[in-house]
Amino acid sequence: MSTDDGRPVLTARRLGIDSQHEAIAFVQQDCAACKSEGFSAHSRVLLKNGAAEIFATLHYVTSNLVGAEEIGLSEIAWKRLHLEGAETLTISHPAPLSSFADVRGKIFGQKLTENTARQIIDDIVHGRYSDIQLTAFVTACSARILDDDETIALTRAMVDSGSRLDWDASIIADKHCVGGLPGNRTTPIVVAIAAANGLTMPKTSSKAITSPAGTADTMSTITNVSLSLSDMKAVLTREQACFVWGGSVNFSPADDTLIRIQKALDLDSEGPLIASVLSKKIAAGATHLVIDIPVGPTAKVRSAEAAESLRQHFEAIAAHFDIKISVEITDGTQPVGRGIGPSLEARDVLAVLRNEANAPPELRDRACVLSGALLELTGAAKPAQGTQRARETLASGAANAHFEAICKAQGRLASPPVAEHQRAIIAPRPGRVARIDNRRLAKAAKLAGAPEDVAAGIDLHVYLGDAVAQGDALFTLHTQSPGELAYALDFIDANPGIVELTSP
């Protein structure tokens, strides 16, 4: 079968395979259409459905998984091609991916330029890179460390590849945490305090990729976070601030793709990290930015030296984009707040905003320090008075009033759901809390069901240095099903030192 222009065509078949960002196409091993084009296993091919065209990686099959004139598609391929039923597709060679020559150049020591970075990011955003091509780029940016000019070029390319918020305010406040610490859900509190102090803060946040919750997951238990850019603007007009899931407004769309590879390789580098963070802030129009870098042995940044280096580079790149920045290096040795998981973190956030007696003081203090830095940076508070101002804004109820108004403007102000099943993990003997393993704690919260089950996660009852008696609850698992409770318990049994007590 072939079309008028001689291109072979195949009938699309949805296989329901989640291949993440890389589109995969499956054809019979003796597929005439593919043979005629000279494709081999894992060739990159161009698939067209009318005006929609995508790059895909070809996999041959020797079974009847697809018919002789069929082409099976993974979910991302199906969606990018806007398919609905058994449409026919043409298959052909893609034009050479010229930007990959620049990736090869980078591997061999050439510098990224504004132009090459732009073309690479454009091809990534349009799904033209396979996973191994993405990996080569990600690895090259770690092995051949990006200098400031390259980081600037990459940042600008990432900004320009997506939407931008153009907002009529001389000061646009923003805040970011480089992550790695469970809980630490300061963002909603900082936004509320900033808004109550007259700042404009169009906050966009991410969902969890490998953690038990992102700010967007947490806020989704209280309000709607999937707003379009125009809905986001409407909320800003009314309340000067918002809590929006970044994925819905398309800021820096290459970022998720790159982060997925970086996480799979557990590969962090300063240049790509800074470009990732700043590109989203610039797209959101930020003029004043506070960065939280928690430092601890099981946090993302593990040494004071690494944090200091990261601070200096953040400052240099932000200065280039005319962003005023304040980098706060904070304690990352244990979780901040008690809840780990969307609902449990939301509960803590609400408790702090509502000045409840059981509100976690560490979360309140951390949020006030970061808010204070933002108030000082923007001139909303005098030097050295920001934290105190933030405390007063919280204590007066002004922050909570703004928080509730923003949520209502976003369409909903709900109470986060509570999990059906709860199980306390108790201290096997008396002692003091010597260490808390952030990574394994996060892992247990994920096994309990977070972030998909928003009510699932962990409620931590102790901090470093606390004295516990035998039988005291160290933390409580929250789950929505007995099965998940069992998975999490199995993991905790196999990892007894998640909360480690001093030797008897």
Q: Which residues are catalytic?
A: 268
Residue-by-residue DSSP string for 190-251:
HHHHHHHTT-BEEEEEPPPSSSS--HHHHHHTTS-----HHHHHHHHHHHSEEEEEHHHHTS
Asked whether the beta carbons of 468 and 501 are under 8 A apart, the reply is yes
| Residue 503 in contact with its own copies, rule: CB under 8 A | no
Which pair of structure tokens corresponds to residue 188? Answer: 């909603």
Q: How far is CA 150 from CA 46, 110, 311, in A?
A: 31, 10, 17
What number of other Cβ atoms are within 10 A of residue 40's Cβ? 9
Site string for its own copies, 463-502 (x = CB under 8 A): --------------------xx-xx--xx-----------
| Residue 59 in contact with its own copies, rule: CB under 8 A | yes
| Residue 38 in contact with its own copies, rule: CB under 8 A | yes
Give 320 or 439: the residue with its C-beta nearer to its own copies. 439
Give 134 or 381: the residue with its C-beta nearer to its own copies. 134
| Residue 9 in contact with its own copies, rule: CB under 8 A | no
Shortest reach from residue 412's CB to its own copies, in Å:
28
Shortest reach from residue 55's CB to its own copies, in Å:
14
| Residue 266 in contact with its own copies, rule: CB under 8 A | yes
| Residue 65 in contact with its own copies, rule: CB under 8 A | yes
Asked whether the beta carbons of 71 and 11 are under 8 A apart, the reply is yes
| Residue 16 in contact with its own copies, rule: CB under 8 A | yes
| Residue 161 in contact with its own copies, rule: CB under 8 A | no
Give 77 or 242: the residue with its C-beta nearer to its own copies. 77
Q: How far is CA 324 from CA 45, 95, 126, 314, 374, in A?
A: 45, 42, 32, 10, 10
Question: What is the residue whose two structure tokens read 């304040």?
Answer: 326
Shortest reach from residue 169's CB to its own copies, in Å:
39
| Residue 264 in contact with its own copies, rule: CB under 8 A | yes
Binding-site member from 118, 443, 461, 478 for its own copies (CB under 8 A): 443
Q: How far is CA 108 from CA 103, 123, 159, 381, in A?
A: 9, 20, 26, 49
Give 134 or 458: the residue with its C-beta nearer to its own copies. 134
Site for its own copies in 116-145 (CB under 8 A): 130-136, 138-140, 142-144
| Residue 79 in contact with its own copies, rule: CB under 8 A | no
| Residue 41 in contact with its own copies, rule: CB under 8 A | yes
Asked whether the beta carbons of 141 and 170 are under 8 A apart, the reply is no
For residues 252 and 121, what is the distance between their CA atoms, to the nearest angstrom?
10
| Residue 18 in contact with its own copies, rule: CB under 8 A | yes
| Residue 108 in contact with its own copies, rule: CB under 8 A | yes
Say if residue 70 is exposed, middle or buried (CB neighbours under 10 Å; 0-12, 13-18, 19+). Answer: buried
Per DSSP bridges, beta strands 44-49 and 24-28 are unpaired
- Which residues are 174's β-sheet partners? 289
Binding-site member from 10, 12, 19, 310 for its own copies (CB under 8 A): 19
The residues of the shown chain that bind its own copies, judged by CB under 8 A, are: 6, 14-20, 26, 29, 32, 35-38, 40-42, 59-65, 75, 100, 104, 106-109, 130-136, 138-140, 142-144, 210, 261, 264-267, 443, 446-447, 483-484, 486-487, 490-491
